[in-house]
């Protein structure tokens, strides 16, 4: 069955003294929650019926806030001590929500969250991005699931096993007779919010699966649209993670950090011959019997789900990472941001400590626009020439400066000039960061020619990391051509952080390209 929940959210949004936070009032739920206040963990309750877990089951859980009262932006996402993949995933999803908001007209934006499931090895979080523009409220829900057994951060689509998305889609459409079938199918084929309009998937406490569509996604009614599928109906479609998520929703229990394994591992059901063919497909054994030929064993199931990750699936897309060094800079970084926003692409800014000093407002503007901020160290010096103590200081000082603005410690560090050796790599790794190099150097600092920079960026191949500088006027002036040339050549322009799944970049390892490429480590 389908149920509409009226969500006249953001009826009030006021600043909290001293922290730039907001108070969000949801008349439908009749609750008020202070956002991002010290000690605050969660936002307003999830839609009726969705399970809820007590945050005390995760005593190592905290909240990372990024907010600006003047910009009417308030965000909070959960963080988990010693769970880097989980944390990186949350920060990257937050960035995607902020980019999606910044690509539209000005208004008010709140991103909040609720813990909806917990067990010793599984965590479920429901995020809600709420936007008000010209009095019109939209809500984009996204469910994010953490599987400690594989150290994966997954979207709601991962709750369904490969080969079962078609049957699941048909069941949702059949249960939602008062919503257009084409709209439902379009949403169910899409990625999760905010990169798409796919629904959030979560469970009720009795095991029913709730398919939560955002406002105005499949219906023009002023409310979210939730389809409820009974537990016995969906049990055969659930993946291993889905089954554990169901249990973690029905009977929440304490999370055990010791269950986290790393680095991230692939989903077991996607391994060749690991999954059972769907009931609607004729088995290889039956086909062999009919033809009289020997069976070679079960064939792999085609994964018919949309992206089950929380970042673009760069295994399928032609992703190239666009990166900028040395900023923020007053006269050019804003222009670069405007071009990226206009082109609706992502990018990484490797911020330099001496540039951050005096330009923290510009760094905050970059973060509020949803762009990935990583470290270029505190000074533009050769790191191999530093003593051990000075090297550590050069790394940590800038990480602290970035965390003070963004709410997270950067997990990628690009050495100035790319200068590194084994000692530098080790020092960067000791401070919880990977070594971010590149394999496409546009040399914009040398040529100072925007056309040349754009041509070199457009020639990037999937998996490449493209280097340029947001302090260069020629690059800032050519940003539309840079973005346009890359996208025209079929590239999905991402940040370096999004080039792989959360947690995949390993500390202290230098990378010149996406993991999986022969030239990845360098």
CB contact at 8 A, 356 and 363: yes
The whole-angstrom separation of Cα 206 and Cα 229 is 11
Count of residues in the chain: 522
User: Which of 326, 469, 470, 481 is an active site residue?
Assistant: 469
- 216: which residues sit within 8 A by CB, 6+ positions away? 138
Instruction: State yes or no: is 469 an active-site residue.
Output: yes
Question: What is the CB-side half-sphere exposure of residue 136 using CA atoms within 13 A?
Answer: 9
Q: Kindly report whether the peptide bond that precedes residue 328 is cis, defined as omega within 30 degrees of 0.
A: yes
Tokens standing for 3?
A: 């149920």
Find out whether 321 and 439 touch, Cβ atoms under 8 Å: no
- What is the DSSP code (8-state) at residue 198? B
Instruction: Say which of 112, 121, 147, 325 is annotated catalytic.
Output: 325
**Is residue 470 annotated as a catalytic residue, yes or no?**
no
Cα 303 to Cα 83: distance, rounded to the nearest angstrom: 28
- The sheet with strand 223-229 has its strands ordered as 2-6, 223-229, 209-213, 200-203
450-458 vs 479-488: helix crossing angle, rounded to 10:
20
350: β partners: 325, 374
- Looking at the DSSP assignment, which residues form a beta bridge with residue 113? 127
- Distance in angstroms (rounded) separating the CA atoms of residues 65 and 41: 10
Q: How many CA atoms lie within 13 A of 91 on its CB side?
A: 27
- Closest residue by Cα to residue 91 from 334, 311, 419, 380: 311
Contact call for residues 50 and 204 (beta carbons, < 8 A): yes
Q: How far apart are CA 245 and CA 123, in angstroms?
A: 7
CA separation for the pair 415, 423 (Å, rounded) = 12
Cα(458)–Cα(125) distance, rounded to whole angstroms? 38
- Within 10 angstroms of residue 225's Cβ, the number of other Cβ atoms is 26
CA 141, 190, 223 angle in degrees (round to 5)? Answer: 35
354 close to 377: Cβ distance less than 8 angstroms: no
- Looking at 335-438, which runs of residues are DSSP E strands? 348-351, 372-375, 412-413, 434-436
Residue with tokens 């008000």: 132
For the annotated catalytic residues, the residue numbers are 325, 469
């Amino acid at each position: 069955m389908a149920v509409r929940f009226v969500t006249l959210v953001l009826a009030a949004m006021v600043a909290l003294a001293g922290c730039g936070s907001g108070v969000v009032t949801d008349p439908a739920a009749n609750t008020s929650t202070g956002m991002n206040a010290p000690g605050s963990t969660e936002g307003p309750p999830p839609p009726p019926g969705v399970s809820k877990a007590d945050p005390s089951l995760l005593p190592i859980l905290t909240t990372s806030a990024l907010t600006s009262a003047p910009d009417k932006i308030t965000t909070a996402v959960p963080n988990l001590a010693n769970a880097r993949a989980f944390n990186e995933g949350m920060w990257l999803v937050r960035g995607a929500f902020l980019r999606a908001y910044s690509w539209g007209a000005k208004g008010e934006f709140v991103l909040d969250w609720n813990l909806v499931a917990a067990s010793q090895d599984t965590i479920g979080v429901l995020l809600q991005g709420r936007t008000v523009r010209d009095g019109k409220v939209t809500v984009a829900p996204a469910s994010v699931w953490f599987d400690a057994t594989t150290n994966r951060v997954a979207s709601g689509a991962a709750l369904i096993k490969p080969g079962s998305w078609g049957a699941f889609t048909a069941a949702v459409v059949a249960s939602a007779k008062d919503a257009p079938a084409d709209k439902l199918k379009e949403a169910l084929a899409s990625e999760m919010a905010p990169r798409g309009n796919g629904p959030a998937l979560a469970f009720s406490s009795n095991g029913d699966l709730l398919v939560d569509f955002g406002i105005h996604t499949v219906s023009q009614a002023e409310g979210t649209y939730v389809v409820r599928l009974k537990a016995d109906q969906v049990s055969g479609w659930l993946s291993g993670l889905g089954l554990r998520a169901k249990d973690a929703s029905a009977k929440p229990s304490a999370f055990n950090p010791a269950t986290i394994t790393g680095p991230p591992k692939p989903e077991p059901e996607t391994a060749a011959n690991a999954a059972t063919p769907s009931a609607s497909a004729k088995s290889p054994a039956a086909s062999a019997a009919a033809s009289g030929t020997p069976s070679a064993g079960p064939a792999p199931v085609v994964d018919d789900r949309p992206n089950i990750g929380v970042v673009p699936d760069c295994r399928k897309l032609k992703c190239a990472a666009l990166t900028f060094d040395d900023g923020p800079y007053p006269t050019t970084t804003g222009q670069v941001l405007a071009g990226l926003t206009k082109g609706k692409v992502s990018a990484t800014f490797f911020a330099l400590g001496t540039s951050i000093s005096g330009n923290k407002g510009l760094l905050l503007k970059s973060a509020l626009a949803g762009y990935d901020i990583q470290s270029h160290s505190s000074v533009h010096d050769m790191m191999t020439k530093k003593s051990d103590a000075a090297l550590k200081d050069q790394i940590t000082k800038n990480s602290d400066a970035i965390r003070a603005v963004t709410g997270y410690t950067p997990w990628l560090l690009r050495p100035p000039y790319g200068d590194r050796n084994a000692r530098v790599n080790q020092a960067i790794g000791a401070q919880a960061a990977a070594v971010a190099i590149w394999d496409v150097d546009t040399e914009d600092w040398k040529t100072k020619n925007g056309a040349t920079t754009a041509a070199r960026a457009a020639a990037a191949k999937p998996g490449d990391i493209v280097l340029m500088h947001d302090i260069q006027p020629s690059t800032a002036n050519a940003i539309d051509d840079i973005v346009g040339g890359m996208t025209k050549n079929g590239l999905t322009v991402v940040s370096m952080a999004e080039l792989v799944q959360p947690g995949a970049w390993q500390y202290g390892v230098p990378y010149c390209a996406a993991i999986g490429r022969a030239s990845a480590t360098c």
